[in-house]
Amino acid sequence: MLTVSTVNVNGLRAAAKKGFTEWFGATGADVVACQEVRAAPDDLPAALREPDGWHAVHADCSVKGRNGVSLYSRAEPEATRLGFGAAEFEDSGRYAEMWLPGVVVASLYLPSGDVGTPRQDEKERFMAAFLPYLSELRGKAAADGREVLVVGDWNIAHAEIDLKNWKANRKNSGFLPEEREWLGRVFDEAGYVDVQRRLDPDGPGPYTWWSYRGRAFDNDSGWRIDYQVATPGLAGRAETATVERAPSYDLRWSDHAPLTVTYRS
């Protein structure tokens, strides 16, 4: 079996003080992917930079305190990569991958965007550059006898069943028609599979992110923006997908919850 967990930690050092360290110590996952780490590797405590029993890679952002993704694997990777070859985003701390036996696993933090601002323009440029890479990666991995699994915070809710208040968000970043269409191209054109939706096609949710504002968490008024996106062979081996939602608001250590999927070997 291969168990993979992904979570946007909303600042790894802060999350560690609120419960992430205990969650990480108890996880049965073989691979853990983190996004929005917001720290350079040297700024992380040793227990998170190089945990005992794990192999870790960290892609930090050139702008201090921004972005950042990490990958932890119990198995030693045969190769690693930070960034996906687009010059604008190489030092942005948004992508890291490990080549593991039989599979390439990547941690992705896609820009969040904000309509009418440069942040949305950045998001669109990222998407335009990343889609060809996904196709390229699938081809390279297949030639090497491997599946591909890209997990993380994709910052797009693909369908109406992927967020509670979809009607009110049709003109907001994260649920724009062009963003949803792009994610559809990841599935249709690049040939990847939304693993959680394959296992639970009807929804609604389960959501993975809830705003800290108001009572969004208590009312389960969330968004499903954290995905495990796999090539068809691996997706077909997925057995369970679980959102590890905190039992109560006060026990949250991030505004996201881990998405954990188990795959047959």
3-class SS shares of the chain: helix, strand, coil, % to 5: 30, 25, 45
- DSSP secondary structure letters along 114-163: -TTSHHHHHHHHHHHHHHHHHHHHHHHHHHTT-EEEEEEE-----SGGGB
Active site residue 194: no
CA-to-CA distance for 187 and 20, rounded, in angstroms? 31
Question: Which listed residue (60, 153, 194, 226) is catalytic?
Answer: 153
- DSSP secondary structure letters along 190-223: S--EEHHHHH--S-S----B--SSTTTTTTT--B
CA-to-CA distance for 200 and 189, rounded, in angstroms? 22
- Which helix (H) or strand (E) segment holds residue 47: the answer is helix 46-49
Angle made by CA atoms 37, 38, 42, in degrees to the nearest 5: 90
Longest dimension (CA), the chain: 49
Catalytic residue list: 153
